[in-house]
Amino acid sequence: MLPQEHVARALQKALSTGGDFAELYAEDARTNSLTMIGGALEDAVAGRDHGAGIRVFKGKDTVYVYTNDTSLEGLLSAAEQAAQAVASDRVRVPDLVLAHRVLTENHPVREWPYNVATPEKLDFLRAGHAAMKAYSPEITQTQVLYSDVTQHVLIANSQGLWVEDDRTRIRLHQYAVASSNGQTQTGHVGPGFNAGFESIRGLDVEADGRNAARQAVTMLHADYCPAGRMPVAIENGFGGVIFHEACGHALEATSVGKGNSVFCGKLGQQIADLRVTAVDDGTMPNAWGSRNIDDEGQPTRRNVLIEKGILKSYLVDRLGAMRLKLEANGCARRQNYAFAPTSRMSNTFIAPGEDDDNEIISTMGDGLYCASMGGGSVNPLTGDFNFAVNEAYLVRDGKITVPVRGATLIGKGSEILWKIDRVGKHMLTGQGMCGSLSGSIPADVGQPLIRVSEITVGGRK
């Protein structure tokens, strides 16, 4: 990707004013996207991103400089800027030998997306549109979005690391809009993979389209959700977004290392009900948030964050390891070369438990069943959150009854962990994009059906 001599010289230049550690990250990414609205192709975009970033450590201070000029002159210029930001009187430029590390490919690609012609990709978009429109005459608009990214990365550092990796991710969104009497509701399905085009061929695009349309039509005819404190059952898959947002970010060294987390200093302590085990696993084959290596070049891992209610681990990158005096555990991530890496989640989920799904509902009395979650907001320092529910149903006397719309879940992550009183046996995951200090990255969330004994539900009734 880049000549080894150029990389070595850039790293030495980065250390020339007394830095302790230097790292170079380079990437070459090909992107493609197609947008179809109402069955017509609205947009087709292809692009290429190419560049490199150089990071220098001086103690616990870091500086990051990036450039899209990856010639020797461009790399040395970026390295010089980084070096000047950490200049000191004590300078020792080490000899540098870069040793190539060979990776094991844990996320094989059988069909590279860039080898599939655009007309063939459009066939899948048309199939989704047709399925949504055929579901009901109340479906007044459809949108189908396809995207793929093929990325080659190089990571080298002053400790002699040289590692390269190829990454491919691909996703197909389907949005349905239902309208009647001046009211509109939307439904969405958007599976994604760290894999090739074979993953799109494996989808039942029509079934996904019908599901998006069903959500929209169901919520169009739903009454408004009542407000109050009540038990809530949250379905598997994308329901895991609540743990991701309300608890997961507070377990990243980005927050913990600065003292901005409700979980600071609680390793080894019980922070959740005994039923709760939570994991972040960047090794899951072809999963949306998986990688062979993180963006500091370390192998990804399966990190148990909470085990039977006990806090076992944080997500720790190199800088977080220095701040917390813990071992980095393969979770450094970034959007692209324009961002320095930091600790981030990959595939984060509440692990399957022992409770029966039917019993979870039948013993909850009156409450709310959340079939599909939406977006929300959270304060990582306090854990306070507010999440929209895309598809919800009232539970009356242990039975799922009528749909309701406009529901929100309001609470605090650290408190909700104690109130999870049932965890089902069957886990699914959902895909999303997670934004934080190092940009927007693909992240899987997941869980089985869980029940929270009591939570504040916002609604218009």
Q: What is the pLDDT of residue 382?
A: 82
Considering the domain boundaries, does residue 3 fall inside one? no
Residue 217 and residue 233 share a domain: no
**pTM score:** 0.94
Residue 286 and residue 139 share a domain: no
Alpha helices by DSSP H, listed for 222-352, are 241-243, 253-256, 318-324
Q: What is the pLDDT of residue 93?
A: 65
What CA–CA distance (Å, rounded) separates 419 from 409? 14
Considering the domain boundaries, does residue 71 fall inside one? no
31-52 pLDDT per residue, tens: 999 999 999 999 999 999 999 9
Q: Report residue 430's pLDDT band, with 50, 70 and 90 as the boundaries.
A: very high
DSSP for 313-326, please give it: --B--HHHHHHHT-
Residue 347 and residue 201 share a domain: no
CA torsion sign, 274 to 455 to 281 to 204?
Answer: positive
64-98 pLDDT per residue, tens: 999 999 999 999 999 999 999 988 766 666 678 88
Residue 239 and residue 213 share a domain: no
Write out the residue range of the structural domain in which residue 120 sits: 113-150+168-221
205-264 pLDDT per residue, tens: 999 999 999 999 999 999 999 999 999 999 999 888 999 988 999 999 999 999 999 999
User: Could you say which DSSP state residue 88 is in?
Assistant: -
Residue 322 and residue 443 share a domain: yes
Residue 453 and residue 314 share a domain: yes
Q: Which helix (H) or strand (E) holds 8?
A: helix 4-14
Buried/exposed code over 308-335 (b: 16+ C-beta within 10 A; e: otherwise): ebbbebbbbbbbbbbbbebebbbbbbbb
Residue with tokens 């799904």: 357
Nearest Cα neighbor of 24 from 75, 73, 71 is: 75
Residue 269 and residue 181 share a domain: no
- The CATH code of the domain that includes 145 is 3.30.2290.10
Phi, psi (deg, nearest 5) at residue 397:
55, 45
Q: What is the pLDDT of residue 52?
A: 98
Q: What is the pLDDT of residue 381?
A: 77
Residue 295 and residue 263 share a domain: yes
Considering the domain boundaries, does residue 139 fall inside one? yes
Tokens found for residue 409:
């879940």
> How many structural domains does the chain have?
2
What CA–CA distance (Å, rounded) separates 6 from 75? 8
Considering the domain boundaries, does residue 2 fall inside one? no
Residue 239 and residue 210 share a domain: no
Q: What is the pLDDT of residue 377?
A: 79
Considering the domain boundaries, does residue 305 fall inside one? yes
